[in-house]
């Protein structure tokens, strides 16, 4: 891998985005975007395989000098190590499948060309973020990802909910980004560099000395970075945007909310792990993650929208990843991130296929009987479900097992919380599958199977969801830094017990029941209402904002009044001091007068420009003589 080939990975989608921005034809636009993504996928797989050959804890860096100003060089760069290699390969591979799926899903949309432009832009930002070797570049790509996700979520902007969801996602993540930015500035202030790895002088290699407000700088910076990560990865209390973001087209949900964008936060924590270790802030990460996992799993129980259930499940799983990072290290968290990316992307595009087949119906109460008419999709979806509930020997089982083992070794309460969240996961997924697949169809139109362009990616992802775990455990997991924990028997027993037990409970509750409009025993009001997080924010933060707006308005009125008074006073003074001189003063010396003078000077300087050649020539002579006189005076 050279700098050029590595840089091509994010640049190809970026170029595709630039080209497709001017393309009207949807098919051509999709072709360009998919070709670019295929190119970066090949390159990323090459990079990934190369990174496996690297010695432990080494980082290949490729730097570009961007700007030199008076000796201070601002560098941009890329880094290659197992972490970025694995992440880039996953993002491009899953991304490619989702691009292909979108081609089928968005076929009838008039703005398909624009859709692929946004998708490419998003992929470019995401890959830049993954490969960046400088916090500055990482942050820039982070923001590109934010903008692109805003555009994608509110892609169907004729729907007011979609427009609102896009805005909500953008603003809520922006709250976290604020912390991130402050963290970057603080890091720069304390170390003077923003490079992550720089031959021993990078941010992650030197450690940060000194304190800020009495805390260790590393602790403060890492917590601020975690703010950004929590925003992007939907951690408590900033998780509220993620379920609403399901208003976007389903491929977007798969791309953004399963595999990539929400993983960016987890990736950031993994990337900056030395800083978290240095600052001793990992327990915070673990606890936030554990609570998020639990709360989101509870809420998922009470939802009826198929994509919302998956959304809350994503939030919950992201929490588990944070737990993995917090208790065990990079390897454990990233392992779950990778397996989750595959099975959640599978579930999302499976849900997309179901929604498509059920004529854009998203309410599971109006589905049912899908198993009979959509066989391929159903099997694939069940594979994804098995992985999500950590059914033994699926990919999710391996990665979740590592998290639980880490939590058992590190902190017992977190272990029990995570195990309970897993139990809830199994319950709500069983509930969802029973609603969707069994019984008679409760909608108006009979569902139909989706076209090949949509099912093929499903099948590929299903294979990955089932089989990737064992493979990845031996390859990627072994390469990533982090401590391995002994797998005590009780951990494995609990892990299997919660998965099977959850499925059993779900079966017992929903198995023989009449589904549909009948009341649901577990979907109690607090869960249906998402524990009133939105209402809470509206009542607190929203109210506070309104109040502040009113106060500012009043203050503004006051200031305006004061200004008016001051102006009146000044007027009075001015006319009192120089009666009648007022006009002359304001107009000749104040801004207007000055501008007028400047414009008038234009006449003066263009006066020699009278069009007569003799006078032009005279001026050459005059100029030469004037310069000569100046010279004479100087020497």
Partner 1 sequence: MDYSAIFTALLPDLFVVVALFAALGVDYTKLRSASLADRACAASRICGVGLVGALVALAFQLTGSLAVDGHALEVTTHGQLVLNAGTLALKALLFLLGLLVLPLAARTISTPQVSEYFALLLLATLGMGFMVTSRNLLGAFVALELVSLSLYALTALNSAQKGSAKSAEAALKYFTYGGVASAFLLFGISYLFGALGQLDITQATLAEAPRLVVVAYLFILVGLGFKLALAPFHLWAPDVYQAAPTPAAAWIASGSKIAGVALLLALLGPVSLPSAHSAIVPLLLLMAVASMAVGNLGALRQSNVKRLLAYSAIANAGYILVAVVAFTDDGRAAALFYAIVYAVATLGAFAVVSVWNDRLGREALIDDFRGAWKASPGLSLALLVFVLSLAGIPPLAGFVGKFYLFFAAIHAAPQMEYWSDGLYWLVAVALVFSVVALYYYLKILKAVFVREETGEMDNTPVGLPASVAILVLALLTVALGVWPEPVVEYIRLYLF
Residue 160 near partner 1 by CB under 8 A = no
Alpha helices by DSSP H, 411-488: 412-437, 452-474, 476-479
Per CB under 8 A, the list member of 69, 213, 525, 576 interacting with partner 1 is 69
Question: Does 619 contact partner 1 by CB under 8 A?
Answer: yes
In order, the DSSP letters of 104-126 are: HHTTT-TTHHHHHHHHHHHHHHH
Min. distance of Cβ 170 from partner 1 in angstroms?
A: 23
Size, binding site for partner 1 by CB under 8 A = 33
- Which range binds partner 1 by CB under 8 A, 62-70, 88-96, 416-424, 580-588? 62-70
Residue closer to partner 1 by CB (options 69, 525) is 69
Task: Compute the CA torsion angle 439, 442, 443, 448 (nearest 10 deg).
Answer: 10
Cα(37)–Cα(45) distance, integer angstroms:
12
How far is it between the farthest Cα atoms of the chain? 110
18 is a site residue for partner 1 (CB under 8 A): no
Does 72 bind partner 1 (CB under 8 A)? Our answer is: no
Q: Which is nearer to partner 1, 451 or 628 (CB)?
A: 628
Q: Is 623 in the site for partner 1 (CB under 8 A)?
A: yes
Q: Select from 2, 24, 489, 606 the one that contacts partner 1 (CB under 8 A).
A: 606
Stretch that binds partner 1, among 184-192, 245-253, 547-555, 596-604 (CB under 8 A): 596-604
Q: Does 590 bind partner 1 (CB under 8 A)?
A: no
Is the peptide bond prior to 237 cis by the omega test (within 30 degrees of 0)? yes
Contact 203, 196 (CB under 8 A): yes
Smallest gap from residue 158 Cβ to partner 1 (A): 23
Which of these, 356, 259, 257, lies nearest to 312 by C-alpha position?
257
The residues, any chain, with a CB within 8 Å of residue 134's CB and separated by 6 or more, are 75, 76, 77, 194, 195, 196
C-alpha triplet 182, 183, 184: angle, nearest 5°: 90
| Span from 5-13, 382-390, 431-439, 624-632 in contact with partner 1 (CB under 8 A) | 624-632
Long-range contacts of 106-109 (CB under 8 A, 24+ apart): 106/26, 106/249, 106/251, 107/26, 109/26, 109/249
65 part of the interface to partner 1, by CB under 8 A: yes
User: Residue 66 interacts with partner 1 (CB under 8 A)?
Assistant: yes
Which of 53, 70, 200, 580 is in the footprint of partner 1 by CB under 8 A? 70
User: Rounded to the nearest whole angstrom, what is the least distance from the CB of residue 76 to partner 1 in the complex?
Assistant: 10
Residue 591 interacting with partner 1 (CB under 8 A): no
Residue 75 CA from chain centroid, whole number: 24
Distance linking the first and last C-alpha atoms of the chain:
62
Give the number of C-alpha atoms closer than 13 A to the C-alpha of residue 50, restricted to the C-beta side: 17
Show the binding pattern over residues 547-586: x = contacts partner 1 (CB under 8 A), - = does not.
Answer: ----------------------------------------
Under 8 Å between Cβ of 229 and 273:
no
Nearer to partner 1, 161 or 596 (CB): 596
Residues near partner 1, by CB under 8 A? 65-70, 595, 598-599, 601-606, 608-609, 611, 613, 616-617, 619-620, 622-624, 626-628, 630-631, 634-635
């Amino acid at each position: 891998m050279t700098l050029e080939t590595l840089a091509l990975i994010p640049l190809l989608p970026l170029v595709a985005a630039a080209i497709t921005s001017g393309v009207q034809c949807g098919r051509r636009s999709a072709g360009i975007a998919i070709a670019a993504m295929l190119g970066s996928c090949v390159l990323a797989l090459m990079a990934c395989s190369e990174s496996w050959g690297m010695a432990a804890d080494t980082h290949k860096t490729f730097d570009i000098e961007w700007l030199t100003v008076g000796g201070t060089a601002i560098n941009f760069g890329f880094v290659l190590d197992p972490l970025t290699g694995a992440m880039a390969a996953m993002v491009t591979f899953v991304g490619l499948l989702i691009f292909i799926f979108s081609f089928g899903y968005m076929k009838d949309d008039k703005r398909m060309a624009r859709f692929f432009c946004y998708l490419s832009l998003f992929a470019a930002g995401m890959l830049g973020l993954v490969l960046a070797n400088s916090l500055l570049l990482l942050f820039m790509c982070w923001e590109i990802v934010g903008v692109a996700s805003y555009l994608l979520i509110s892609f169907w902007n004729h729907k007011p909910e979609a427009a609102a969801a896009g805005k909500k996602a953008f603003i809520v993540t922006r709250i976290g980004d604020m912390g991130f930015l402050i963290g970057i500035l603080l890091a720069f202030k304390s170390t003077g560099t923003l490079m992550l790895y720089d031959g021993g002088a990078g941010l992650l290699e030197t450690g940060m000395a000194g304190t800020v407000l009495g805390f260790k700088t590393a602790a403060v910076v890492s917590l601020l970075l975690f703010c950004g990560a929590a925003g992007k990865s939907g951690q408590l209390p900033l998780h509220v945007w993620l379920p609403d973001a399901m208003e976007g087209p389903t491929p977007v949900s798969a791309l953004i909310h399963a595999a990539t964008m929400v993983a960016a936060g987890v990736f950031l924590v993994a990337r900056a792990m030395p800083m978290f270790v240095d600052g001793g802030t990992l327990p915070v990460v673990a606890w936030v993650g554990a609570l998020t996992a639990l709360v989101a799993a509870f809420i998922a129980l009470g939802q009826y929208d198929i994509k919302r259930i998956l959304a809350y499940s994503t939030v919950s799983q992201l929490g588990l990843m944070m737990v993995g990072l917090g208790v065990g290290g990079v390897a454990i968290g990233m392992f779950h991130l990778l397996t989750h990316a595959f099975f959640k992307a599978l579930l999302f595009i499976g849900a997309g296929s179901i929604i498509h087949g059920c004529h854009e119906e998203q309410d599971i109460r109006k589905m049912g009987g899908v198993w009979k008419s959509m066989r391929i999709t159903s099997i694939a979806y069940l594979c994804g479900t098995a992985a999500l509930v950590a059914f033994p020997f699926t990919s999710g089982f391996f990665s979740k097992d590592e998290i639980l083992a880490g939590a058992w070794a590190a902190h017992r309460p977190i272990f029990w919380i995570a195990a309970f969240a897993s139990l809830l996961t199994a319950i709500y997924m069983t509930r969802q599958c029973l609603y969707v697949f069994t019984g008679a169809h409760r909608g108006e139109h009979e569902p139909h199977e989706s076209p090949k362009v949509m099912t093929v990616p499903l099948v590929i992802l299903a294979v990955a969801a089932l089989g990737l775990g064992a493979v990845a455990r031996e390859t990627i997991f072994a390469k990533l830094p982090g401590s391995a924990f002994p797998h005590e028997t009780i951990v494995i027993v609990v892990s299997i017990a919660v998965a099977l037990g959850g499925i059993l409970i779900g079966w017992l509750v929903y198995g023989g029941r009449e589904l549909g409009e009948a009341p649901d025993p577990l979907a109690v009001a607090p869960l249906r209402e998402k524990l009133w997080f939105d209402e809470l924010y509206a009542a607190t933060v929203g109210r506070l904002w309104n109040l502040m707006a009113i106060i500012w308005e009043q203050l503004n009125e006051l200031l305006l009044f004061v200004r008016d008074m001051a102006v009146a006073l000044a007027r009075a003074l001015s006319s009192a001091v120089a009666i009648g001189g007022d006009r002359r003063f304001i107009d000749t010396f104040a801004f207007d007068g000055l501008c007028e003078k400047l414009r008038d000077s234009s006449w003066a300087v263009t006066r020699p420009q009278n069009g007569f050649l003799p006078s032009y020539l005279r001026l050459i002579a005059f100029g030469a003589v004037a310069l000569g006189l100046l010279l004479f005076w100087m020497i």
